Amino acid sequence: MIRLHHVPQSRSMRTLWLLHELAVPFEVREWPFDKTLRGPAFLALNPAGRVPALEIDGEVLWETGAITELLCERFPDTGMGRAPGHAERAQWLIWVHFAETISQHAAALTQQHVALYEDSMRSPVVMKIEAKRIEKCYEALEGRLQGREYLLDGGFSAADISVGQAVYMARHFARLDGFAELSVWYDRITARPGFMASLPIDGGLYTRDYYAAWEGQS
């Protein structure tokens, strides 16, 4: 039995997308984006009080990078992973975990724009710095994708899922305009049924894009 504990449009969306691509049976329990995650019921699953948590064969896994690695090892025939000894193993690991570099900046901006509910609580300086850091991540991806359809020459993998979901979050705060290769890649991977199935049915954390809060500032 595989059960994913999930908040729509959060990092757990990364695991949800991967599970759809793996085409294995699983179930989802959705949690609200509120203090429920700090309650004893959820803390028993993830002591950090964050999603995802993944129940699998009587064990609970957490941290998206670790979950991605373990699921790909568990289901190697899907081609989503690159096993130890594979020529693309190092690059696969780099890009799977680069997703967190992007996500930490998107999380800081989610805090500013979504979790803080009054304008006086928000920092335009933080908004601008974190958005610019996302753009630096876009630059790294733009370079990697020159001449490639996917992050790895061997084809679509969990590296594309991990980074793709991070970009999905980040693009609410920093435009993809001007990053031609990144934009084409993003459109390609988000056309996949697995991505579409991971989108929220109703609502989610992000109700709009948030560029105007920092664009045009000196």
Q: Assess whether pLDDT exceeds 90 at residue 119.
A: no
Mean pLDDT across the stretch 122-141?
89
Write out the chain in H/E/C secondary structure.
CEEEEECCCCCHHHHHHHHHHHCCCCEEEECCCCHHHHCHHHHCCCCCCCCCEEEECCEEEECHHHHHHHHHHHCHHHCCCCCCCCCCHHHHHHHHHHHHHHHHHHHHHHHHHHHCCCHHHCCHHHHHHHHHHHHHHHHHHHHHCCCCCCCCCCCCCHHHHHHHHHHHHHCCCCCCCCCHHHHHHHHHHHCCHHHHHHCCCCCCCCCCCCHHHCCCCC
Tokens of 188: 């390609």
Mean pLDDT across the stretch 177-206?
92
* CATH fit for domain 2-78, picks 3.40.50.920, 3.40.710.10, 3.40.30.10, 3.40.50.2300: 3.40.30.10
Q: 2-78 and 89-192+205-213 share one CATH topology?
A: no
Q: What pLDDT digit, counting tens, does each position of 139-169 carry?
A: 999 999 999 999 999 999 999 999 999 999 9
Q: Assess whether pLDDT exceeds 70 at residue 215.
A: no
Tokens of 102: 């992007």
Q: Assess whether pLDDT exceeds 50 at residue 218.
A: no
- Give the pLDDT score at 28: 97
Q: What are phi and psi of 145, to 5 degrees?
A: -85, 0
Q: Assess whether pLDDT exceeds 70 at residue 116.
A: no
- Give the pLDDT score at 122: 73
**Percent of the chain with pLDDT strictly greater than 90:** 75
Architecture of domain 89-192+205-213: Up-down Bundle (1.20)
The full set of domain ranges for the chain reads 2-78, 89-192+205-213
Lowest mean pLDDT among 63-67, 201-205, 210-214: 210-214
Q: Assess whether pLDDT exceeds 60 at residue 76.
A: yes
**Percent of the chain with pLDDT strictly greater than 70:** 93
